[in-house]
Structure 1
Amino acid sequence: MKRFFTSLLLGCLCFSAQANTEHPLISAYPEARLRKQLSYDYETFRFPTTVVSESQSYDVMDATGDLYQYFYTIKGASTLKVYENYAAALKALDFTIIFSCLREACGTEQTSKVLGEHLSPEGAVYNYYHKPYYLLAKKNTPKGKVIGAWFIGGYEDETAVQQVIVETEPLENTLIKVDAAYLSNKPQATSPTETADAKELSKDHKLFARYPGAALRNHETVDYETMTLPAAPGSQGQQPLKLSGDLARHFYIIKDTSTLKIYENYKQALDSAGFSILSHCELEACGKEAQQLGNSISVENAVYNYYRKPYYLVAKKAVDEREVYVALFIGAYESEAAVQQVIIETETLATDLIKVDADSLKQQLEATGKALIYGIYFDTGKAVVKPESRDTLKAIATLLTRNPALLLYVVGHTDDTGTRENNVTLSQQRAAAVVDNLVKQHGIAPTRLLAQGVGPFAPAASNDSDTGREKNRRVELVKRLQ
């Protein structure tokens, strides 16, 4: 955050000795005790511009920039004296008063309390709402507009000050660095920065360098995994994405930065890298289920208290023969923000990593009652077994020969492209073609095999991606009891 004012109290310039407990523009009242302080790098605050009505409605003015909130308590000073000192300090700095109210003009005790709670960093003024004063003021400076608001209320012999100051500034939205070479299959090492050493930064995903100053709380990388990315609340017609591919999840903590600024920087980074946003929600639009939304993608399966002021998005980019998906949930707790980052690369499934032989097929059947077969090939829309399926069919025949009591369903599956009726018919024809080959070419008794087609009704992955559809086009051997 950029701070560019010296402290001022009672109209006199004086440098603050308590840089962490008071704003450099307006120092704390003498002997004031700081109860709570929050600060955010680039946040929007809604300043009340009227008193609160009996229905608890009031007008507001939005300001966006570096935000500072303070809750002070002062013993032995009246609300009037505290107010007069703040008013004198603002006058000395040539602030323009936008709105103010004094005592009864601020409304009833209950409506005054609402006014103070709007400013409070704790969201509450407790009993400090008696004999209230409210000030809203602004000042234009060479570096931007400064807007401040003060609610001063008392309880017995104590006065409390709720102070909010926003230093407006343009959004800095180029803080997330994207390694474009990574998307071209040429990842480059991320160079160390002041925020972390090279070993720590190596834990980041190569696509995104972490937000400046972010601390990594947890992460995981899994070579080929299935994960569901929920659609944002209110996304019309959008369903959760069930994806399979290389998975990376990161949980970052960022101090003194608003969720708004983090979100805008990620959006800018994704846009510059050519990603398309599939689904997103911001703040109240994320709904009451915001915490659950964040939990669903978090590497720790929980965002804990980091679900306030939420932003969520899912983005996608097609790269060569793969698709890259990014999901982000950004939430806050007090002056900290957390980022739940998910990156899934749906690369073509390397089915040849597991050798298909009689022993491996038997192990799968004994463990789960079925074995997935990806080594039987057909031309698109046809049910003639291709010659390159020879080795896989031989392995199935060997399994049956070694285990003469084994009975199998041969089940054909398709993806969800095309009509449902055609897919069911095609899957039945392909399953029958496999049975026919095993009987005629390998001498397996036809009574041991029963062909069945189920079309697209039992997918192994989402049909939303090429990789998922490839996983769904398969043959399964299912152990049969009779």
Structure 2
Amino acid sequence: MYYKILKVVVFFAVSIAVINGQVSYAATAADHPAVSRYQGATLKNSAVIHYQKVAVPISVVKKTKDTQLIEVIGKVSTYGYEIDNNRSTLEVGLNYKQVANKLGAEVLIDCIDTLCGYEPLSFYWRSWANINSLVADDNDDDTRFLVAKRVTDKGDAYYQWIITNGWDGIINVEQTIIEPEALLLDQVSVNISAPIGHIQTSLTTSQDDLEGSKDHPLLSRYQGAYITNYQQREFEKVVIATGMVNNDNQPTIEVEGKGTTIGYELTNSQSTLQIYQNYLTALKAANFEVLFSCSMAACGSRLLDNLYDSKANQSRFRPIRAANYPDSDFRFISAKLSHSNQVIYLMVVIDGAKSSNDSNKIVVDIVEKSEIDTTKVSIDPEYLNNEITQNGKVVLHGLNFAFNKAQLLPSSTASLTAIKTYLALHSKQDFYVVGHTDSVGSYEVNSQLSKARAQSVIEELVALNVDKKRLIAVGIGPVSPRSANSNDANKAENRRVELVLR
């Protein structure tokens, strides 16, 4: 059971009035409830993102690059305003400084031009807020910069204003407010009891899902996301990253089985950090073993490029198409679950919005580990007789085993019945039941597995009243392949059981 942590947003009871009435008493619905727009200002852009990590400057040293930054996580609200009534950056800055005083906030930085240090806004362009900025400009000699901190019982709130000269006497104001906020969980759920193949109803979103797509029954979508890409394959090989790239070497494992890849898009009001933490929390709570998880630079350079290099993974991460770089808003999880004789691997890839009009991208890639299904090839007594008469042996198509185990699956019933009928028609013949494997794994393990599978076939036939004395189990592992073990199809052909005339 998940425990929901309600997100806490600090709201202020009233808007603040400042000197000369330049900031009005009542904020409009489009403004932040704590700080109204400057009188006569026009709102050009605004955005809100939840549980976002941002860098906040708390001190500067004039004429140097020594800007001290701290990382703050919370609700980030940004507003871009234009003021076109011939105000100066000095006058506007004094208004907003008094806003900070009336809020009871401590002014940490109040500077202009080089007094803010060289490239005073370079940190801003590395922050989330810049993707929504239409007005801030760090190239003006008259740029004014204000940062204030307000202590609350929920944590510290930060207020930041960038005030610049624009064109034709217009003043540009970029306002960023960061408020303490708890992580909103329970946006992703795992259902390990759902049978594979069960169709889960798509959740209602503000946009329609891709036609014919659906969530995987194991893992829900992040609340509010919608499906833009969908692909499901009955059997394939998938390359899964298990560690950070080192000297251009990406640690991976290869998994074969049923693959489902779902691409989602989600509003940029949710930070990639919050999305990532929701998936990670849900998977851990469901006893997934996390193989590798990373954020941004910790993912290494070009993780997706390394996975794309594998033919098995080409084009599977849409709608995420760009390579990840150390400064990308990118996060990744790979995990494994063993449950009810089934092994499941998955990858979750998250890529942040690139602009205010863009959306977050999420790809969930789930692989249900299995061996290739050969039930599409059937046998009958006549086929068995023809093969044994001509070759003295026959491949027993349609015998399907649990992955890497000797247990026969229920889908083998039709073939077992055909073998039993053939043996009853040729009661004087005795046979070897010979198990074969591909070359993956050690010789010892494959030899044991091949004999165990041959023995399982004999036991099932004995249960159908075949005389046990007529059959001898033999396991020869990988030493007699039908084809080179160079690709998945050949390996599947080499994993077989044969009936050999004694």
TM-score by length of 1: 0.69
**Structure 1 residues 33 and 291, CA gap change in structure 2 (3 angstroms):** farther
Q: Does 1:281 align with 2:291?
A: no
Report what 2:366 is aligned to. Answer: 343
- In structure 1, how many angstroms separate the alpha carbons of the residues matched to 2:320 and 2:47? 20
Report what 1:265 is aligned to. Answer: 278
SS at match of 1:179: coil
- In structure 1, how many angstroms separate the alpha carbons of the residues matched to 2:366 and 2:314? 10
Report what 1:326 is aligned to. Answer: 346
Matched AA of 1:227: V
Offset at residue 154 of structure 1 (A): 2.3
Report what 1:8 is aligned to. Answer: 16
- In structure 2, how many angstroms separate the alpha carbons of the residues matched to 1:294 and 1:417? 23
C-alpha distance after superposition, 1:311-350 (max 9, x if no partner): 0111000122221111110011135311111111113543
Q: Does 1:97 align with 2:117?
A: no
The count of corresponding residues between Structure 1 and Structure 2 is 410
Unaligned 5+ segments in structure 1 are 360-370, 382-386, 395-411, 428-450, 463-467, 478-482
Instruction: Give the one of 151, 155, 167 matched to 2:179.
Output: 167
Superposition map of 1:366-377 within 5 A: none
Q: Does 1:414 align with 2:438?
A: yes
Instruction: Give the one of 250, 260, 283 matched to 2:262.
Output: 250
Report what 2:82 is aligned to. Answer: 73
C-alpha contact 2:79 2:175 (8 A) present in aligned 1: yes
C-alpha contact 1:414 1:455 (8 A) present in aligned 2: no
C-alpha contact 2:377 2:398 (8 A) present in aligned 1: no
Offset at residue 14 of structure 1 (A): 3.0
- In structure 1, how many angstroms separate the alpha carbons of the residues matched to 2:26 and 2:171? 24
SS at match of 2:72: strand
Q: Does 1:63 align with 2:72?
A: yes
C-alpha contact 2:272 2:350 (8 A) present in aligned 1: yes
- In structure 2, how many angstroms separate the alpha carbons of the residues matched to 1:253 and 1:294? 21
Report what 1:435 is aligned to. Answer: none
Worse-superposed segment, 297-306 or 340-349? 297-306
TM-score by length of 2: 0.67
Matched AA of 2:56: F
**Structure 1 residues 419 and 192, CA gap change in structure 2 (3 angstroms):** closer
Offset at residue 70 of structure 1 (A): 3.0
SS at match of 2:125: helix
SS at match of 2:183: coil
Identity value in percent: 23
Q: Does 1:24 align with 2:36?
A: no
Offset at residue 65 of structure 1 (A): 1.0
Matched AA of 1:321: N
SS at match of 2:99: helix
Offset at residue 272 of structure 1 (A): 0.8
Instruction: Give the one of 218, 227, 245 matched to 1:234.
Output: 245
C-alpha contact 2:319 2:361 (8 A) present in aligned 1: no
Q: Does 1:474 align with 2:495?
A: yes
Superposition map of 1:69-218 within 5 A: 69-75=78-84, 76-108=86-118, 111-114=119-122, 117-118=125-126, 121-122=130-131, 125-126=136-137, 128-155=139-166, 157-182=169-194, 203-218=214-229
Q: What's the C-alpha RMSD, in Å, of the aligned pairs?
A: 4.7
C-alpha distance after superposition, 1:107-163 (max 9, x if no partner): 34xx23425535652479446532232222122334443212222222463332232
Report what 1:458 is aligned to. Answer: 485
SS at match of 1:266: helix
Matched AA of 1:101: C
- In structure 1, how many angstroms separate the alpha carbons of the residues matched to 2:302 and 2:139? 33
Unaligned 5+ segments in structure 2 are 1-6, 384-394, 407-414, 423-435, 451-477
SS at match of 1:130: coil
**Structure 1 residues 8 and 293, CA gap change in structure 2 (3 angstroms):** farther
**Structure 1 residues 133 and 340, CA gap change in structure 2 (3 angstroms):** same
Superposition map of 1:29-44 within 5 A: 29-44=38-53
Matched AA of 1:303: I
Report what 2:320 is aligned to. Answer: 303
SS at match of 2:11: coil
- In structure 2, how many angstroms separate the alpha carbons of the residues matched to 1:289 and 1:86? 43
- In structure 1, how many angstroms separate the alpha carbons of the residues matched to 2:417 and 2:480? 19
Offset at residue 32 of structure 1 (A): 2.9
C-alpha contact 1:226 1:243 (8 A) present in aligned 2: yes
**Structure 1 residues 194 and 204, CA gap change in structure 2 (3 angstroms):** same
SS at match of 2:90: helix
Matched AA of 1:279: F
Worse-superposed segment, 338-347 or 194-203? 194-203
Report what 1:437 is aligned to. Answer: none
C-alpha contact 2:83 2:171 (8 A) present in aligned 1: yes
SS at match of 2:362: strand
SS at match of 2:120: helix
SS at match of 2:214: coil
C-alpha distance after superposition, 1:350-386 (max 9, x if no partner): 3233225899xxxxxxxxxxx9978699xx99xxxxx
- In structure 1, how many angstroms separate the alpha carbons of the residues matched to 2:234 and 2:94? 65
